[in-house]
């Protein structure tokens, strides 16, 4: 009964927002995703049990056009959970992981922002997408509260961002305990592509009211510089992105004696090219993300890896990780492409517009082998997917992936017994 009233209240709020704006315009978009998954050896070890489950997510994305040039936008996620799990409640809670917290299993209002045009450009203010820019590589599907200004003159555009990622003062009582980000990004557009540069300054004082175990207060800050390119040249489509981050993981207050600052420096880059051959295509892509060198005190791994780039069905797969957790036992990999070099060739064929077939072969190894690990090879993976559009807005997809697990998954034990993993999945995606 409680779940029923929560759903009714949410629908009532949507209706309440839409009624005043109905005279102008109201558009409801969104999606429903449900899929079944069978992983033969998600633990990547000998004689391990398989994992099988169905999971789903409902997403509503209403846009309320209040006046010409003025809109209110929202995103609401609901019932993101494995089939057969009850909604999380105080009296009967399901285990919640960092990838599938309790709030996501019921109803979560993720985004809400106002967008309005002025004589000098467009302003977006509120909770909106955070961590998406350029290509999918390095992006993270999250949101945050920000003020964004966008303006465009001919093929040139400029964006300014001030984001309040975390407000610590109200919960800790400390004046300086926030996490903030400030960005500027010039962009250039042409008929067949775009290119851009972004600079961000990120500062976190979260460790100031709660000193680390080492003792004393410190501040984390880093500078991010990123360039991207994507364009079509005849039958060839290509895109690339490069990111460089540097700063301090911990800059200790001057009065702290005996504590050395911890430097941060990291890079990641990506390149993809695809050749269209009528109903078929072939291509290749490469991705790199710095790992942390265990022989230095500095931090070289990407602080905020992205989960939007999903080149494989098994390795670094976000959707499986939400419900099945990290893959491996003696050593693990998760939803984020991090500490890795990934090489992939792929090909696809569309015999009819509604039917698509794609195959890929991938090899991946760690950029930095963790201290004491047997090897740095994640392994090789072959994926095959077939998708069919039952309707223009309803797609059914079947996929099979096989991972030849590398010795990275042995961790620090040379005698640890590992085995390969294969995944069989199918997924129905409705967009509206």
Q: What is the chain's length?
A: 432
- Distance between CA 155 and CA 308 in Å, rounded? 27
Pairing, β 107-117 against β 25-39 = unpaired
In-domain check, residue 140:
yes
Per-residue CA distances from 54 to 51, 108, 152, 216 (Å): 11, 20, 45, 47
Rounded-to-10 torsion of CA 254, 255, 256, 261: 0
In-domain check, residue 14:
no
Per-residue pLDDT of the chain (432 residues; tens, 9 = 90+): 444 444 444 545 445 444 454 455 889 999 999 999 999 999 999 989 898 999 999 999 999 999 999 999 999 999 888 888 766 554 344 444 445 556 556 788 899 999 999 999 999 999 999 888 899 999 988 889 999 999 999 999 999 999 998 876 655 555 567 789 999 999 999 999 999 999 999 998 876 655 444 456 778 899 999 999 999 999 999 999 999 999 998 888 765 666 788 899 999 999 999 999 999 999 999 999 999 999 998 999 998 888 899 999 999 998 888 888 899 999 999 999 999 999 999 999 999 999 999 999 999 999 999 999 999 999 999 999 999 999 999 999 999 999 999 999 999 999 999 999 999 999 999 999
Q: Where are the beta strands (DSSP E) in 118-191?
A: 122-130, 142-153, 156-166, 179-190
- Distance between CA 339 and CA 367 in Å, rounded? 5
Q: How many Å separate Cα 54 from the centre of its chain?
A: 21
Structural domain for 163, as ranges: 133-307
In-domain check, residue 172:
yes
Q: CA-based angle 196:202:206, to the nearest 5?
A: 160
Phi/psi at 296 (5° precision): -120, 160
- Distance between CA 76 and CA 354 in Å, rounded? 29
Of 387, 403, 396, 405, nearest to 312 by C-alpha is: 403
Longest distance between any two alpha carbons in the chain, whole Å: 70
**Whose structure tokens read 């492409």?**
337
The CATH number assigned to the domain holding 201 equals 2.40.160.100
In-domain check, residue 3:
no
CA-based Rg of the chain, rounded to a whole angstrom?
A: 23
Rounded-to-10 torsion of CA 68, 72, 78, 80: 90
| pLDDT tens-digit map of 115-131 | 999 999 999 999 999 88
Q: Which residues of 244-264 are buried (b: 16+ CB within 10 A; e: fewer)?
A: ebebbbbbbeeeeeeeeebbb
* Count of domains observed in the chain: 1
In-domain check, residue 49:
no
Pairing, β 156-166 against β 355-365 = unpaired
Q: How many Å separate Cα 241 from the centre of its chain?
A: 16
Task: Name every residue whose Cβ is closer than 8 Å to that of residue 80 and which is 6 or more positions away in sequence.
Answer: 55, 56, 57, 58, 100, 104, 105, 108, 322
In-domain check, residue 318:
no
- Distance between CA 258 and CA 295 in Å, rounded? 20
In-domain check, residue 118:
no
Of 408, 323, 332, 334, nearest to 364 by C-alpha is: 408
Of 230, 221, 177, 178, nearest to 200 by C-alpha is: 221
Q: What is the pTM of this model?
A: 0.86
3-state per-residue secondary structure call for 26-93: EEEEEEEEEEEEEECCCCCCCCCCCEEEEEEEEEEEEEEEEECCEEEEEEEEEEEEECCCCCCCCCCC
In-domain check, residue 381:
no
**According to the model, what pLDDT value does residue 8 have?**
43
| pLDDT tens-digit map of 380-407 | 999 999 999 999 999 999 999 999 999 9
């Amino acid at each position: 009964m409680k779940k029923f009233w929560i759903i009714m209240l949410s629908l009532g709020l949507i209706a309440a927002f839409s009624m005043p704006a109905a005279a102008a315009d109201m558009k409801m978009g969104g999606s429903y995703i449900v899929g079944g998954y069978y992983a033969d050896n998600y633990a990547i070890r000998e004689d391990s049990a398989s994992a099988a489950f169905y999971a789903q997510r409902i997403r509503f994305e209403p846009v309320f056009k209040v006046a010409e040039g003025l809109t209110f936008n929202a995103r609401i996620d609901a019932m993101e959970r494995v089939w057969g799990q009850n909604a999380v409640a105080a009296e009967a809670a399901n285990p919640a992981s960092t990838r599938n917290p309790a709030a996501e299993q019921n109803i979560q209002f993720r985004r809400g922002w106002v967008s309005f045009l002025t004589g000098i450009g467009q302003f977006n203010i509120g909770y909106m997408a955070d961590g998406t820019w350029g290509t999918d590589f390095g992006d993270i599907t999250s949101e945050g509260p920000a003020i964004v200004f966008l303006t465009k003159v001919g093929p040139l555009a400029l964006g300014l961002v001030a984001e309040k990622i975390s407000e610590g003062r109200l919960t800790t009582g400390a004046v300086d305990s926030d996490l903030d980000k400030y960005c500027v990004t010039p962009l250039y557009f042409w008929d067949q592509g775009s290119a851009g540069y972004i600079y961000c300054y990120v500062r976190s004082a979260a460790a100031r009211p709660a000193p680390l175990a080492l003792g004393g207060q410190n501040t984390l800050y880093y500078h991010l510089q990123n360039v991207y390119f994507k364009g079509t040249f005849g039958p060839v489509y290509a895109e690339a992105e490069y990111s460089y981050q540097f700063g301090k993981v911990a800059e200790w207050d001057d009065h702290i004696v005996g504590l050395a600052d911890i430097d941060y420096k990291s890079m990641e880059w990506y390149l993809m090219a695809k050749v269209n051959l009528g109903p078929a295509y072939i291509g290749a892509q490469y991705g790199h993300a710095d790992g942390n060198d265990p022989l230095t005190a500095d931090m070289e791994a990407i602080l905020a890896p992205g989960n939007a780039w999903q080149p494989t069905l098994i390795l670094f797969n976000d959707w499986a990780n939400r419900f099945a957790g990290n893959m491996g036992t003696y050593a693990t990999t998760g939803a984020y492409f991090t500490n890795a070099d990934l090489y992939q060739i792929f090909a696809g064929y569309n015999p009819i517009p509604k039917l698509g077939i794609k195959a890929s072969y991938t090899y991946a190894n760690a950029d930095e082998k963790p201290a004491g690990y047997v090897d740095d090879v994640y392994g090789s993976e072959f994926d095959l997917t077939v998708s069919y559009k039952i309707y223009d807005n309803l797609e059914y997809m079947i996929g099979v992936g096989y991972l030849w697990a590398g010795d990275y998954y042995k961790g620090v034990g040379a005698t640890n017994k590992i085995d390969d993993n294969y995944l069989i999945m199918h997924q129905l995606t409705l967009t509206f």
